[in-house]
Amino acid sequence: MAAKNPSGVATRDIRSVLVHASGRDWGTVDDLLDVPHHCVGRNGLGVHFVLCNGNAVSGGNAYDPEWDGKIQEARPVEQAGFHSGDAVTDTTSVAILLVGSGDGRYTPMQISALENLIHLLKVDTVASHECAGFDAGAWWDGD
Ligand SMILES: [Zn+2]
């Protein structure tokens, strides 16, 4: 377990980004806790960012461009996540969860938001969990 200061904030050495999919093609950070998912853990959502796809309303049939590609913060990046099933990876990575069924199809706005976020995080290594449905490492390297 990473050492934490009394405020509970761990100073982390962030080395990579791990991309996940929510497993459902609609939703926001507020309702993803209802989804049975390996990124939902002890202290709420175990990922750091959620990238919405425009289907923010329950049921998913009301596309709202305001929500397409929206980046929501789920957990401070200073805190280790709970998403990879591996304590070392959880401690050294930032988790980004794309709203989507996991078939590898995302909106262009989501992909663009993902790209911007990875640039901001200044990490060298990008990978995806199998739930994402695409190889984010190959995608990023081809950029
Ligand atoms: Zn995953």
User: How far, in Å, is the centroid of ligand 1 from the Cα of 49?
Assistant: 13
Structural domains of the chain, with CATH: 16-138 (3.40.80.10)
Residues 56-67: what's their mean pLDDT?
82
- Residue 6 Cα to ligand 1 midpoint, Å, equals 30
pLDDT of residue 44: 83
**pLDDT tens digit sequence for 86-125:** 999 999 999 999 999 999 999 999 999 999 999 999 998 9
Query: Residue 32 Cα, ligand 1 centroid: separation in angstroms?
Result: 13
How many angstroms does the Cα of residue 9 sit away from the middle of ligand 1? 24
pTM reported for the whole predicted model: 0.89
DSSP category for residue 2: -
Instruction: Provide the pLDDT confidence category of residue 32 given band limits of 50, 70 and 90.
Output: confident
Report the number of secondary-structure helices (H) and strands (E) in the chain: 3, 7
Other beta carbons within 10 angstroms of residue 67's beta carbon come to 20
Report the C-alpha gap between 92 and 2 in whole angstroms: 10
Q: How far is the CA of 96 from the centre of ligand 1 (A)?
A: 9
CA of 19 to the centre of ligand 1 (A): 7
